Structure 1
Amino acid sequence: MDQQRIEAVLDTIGDEHARELLAAISREPRSAKELADECELSLPTVYRRIEMLEEHELVTDQTRVTEDGNEYNVYESDFESTVVTLDNDEYQVRIYRENNLPDRFSQLWEELCDE
C-alpha cells in the first residue's frame, strides 16, 4: 500500500463518525436510516462516511427488497481487523479480511521466522 493510500485509510478510520458507523455495522448489517438513528447522525453525514469507507474497501453494501417491492441498501463491514505499525519512520496498514485468513497465517508465520 503506498504512503498516500495509507494516510487516506488512517484519516478515514481516524474519523469519529466513520468509527461509529464501523462499530455499528460490525455487529450486523444496517441501512443508512438505521445507522443515522443508532449513531444520532444526519443521513447526509452517514452517506458521506459510508462513501469514504467504501472507497477504502472497508464497507460493502447489499440491496434488500421490502415486501412491497421497494429496494434499499444495507451496509456491512468488509474486514476482520486492521493492524497499524510504525517501522523505520513509516506507517504500515494491514487490513485483514475473512477471505484472506490463510494469507494472514502465512504472514504471521513469516514474521515469526524472521525474528
Structure 2
Amino acid sequence: MVEPESEQVLDLLADDYAREILAYLSKQPMLVEELGEKCDGSKSTIYDRVDQLQSVGLVSENLQIDPQGHHRKQYETILNAVLVTFADGQYEIQLEIEEDTPDRFARMWGNIRGE
C-alpha cells in the first residue's frame, strides 16, 4: 500500500465532514446514503469527501449486493490515529493505518491492474 501524503491528510482532516465521516466509519462500515443522514450533508458533499478520503488511502470500499441484485458501495475507515509531533524546529506526521490481509491483497491487486 502506498502511504498517503501527510500534508494531504492534514488538509483533509481540517474539513468537518471528513472528520465526521471517519468517526462514523470507525464504528461500522456504511453506505454514502447512511453517512449523508448521519453527517447532515448533501449526497454530493458526502460523495466528494468519501472520494477524497479514499484517494489518500484512509477509507476502503467494499461492494455489497442486496437481495434484489443491486450493487452498492460500502465504506470503512482504515485510519486509526494521526500523531503530529514538534521538535527541534520541525514537525513530523505519523499515520496509524490498519488493513487486514484480504483488504491489503485487494488493494495491491487493484494497483497492479491499474484501478
| TM-score after normalising by structure 2 | 0.76
Residues 21-80 of structure 1: per-residue CA shift (max 9 Å, x gap): 011111000000000011111110001101111121110010000000000001101122
Aligned match of 1:15? 15
Structure 2: which 5+ runs fail to align? 101-115
Map of 2:34 onto structure 1: 34
Which of 1 and 2 has higher RCO (CA within 8 Å, sep 6+)? 2
Instruction: Quote the residue 2:111 is aligned against.
Output: none
Q: For 1:77-96, list aligned pairs within 5 A.
A: 77-96=77-96
For the residue of structure 1 that corresponds to 2:92, the secondary structure is strand
Identity of aligned residues (%): 30
More helix by share: 1
* CA–CA separation in structure 2 for the residues paired with 1:18 and 1:88: 31
Instruction: Confirm or deny: 8 A CA contact 1:6 1:91 kept in the other structure.
Output: no
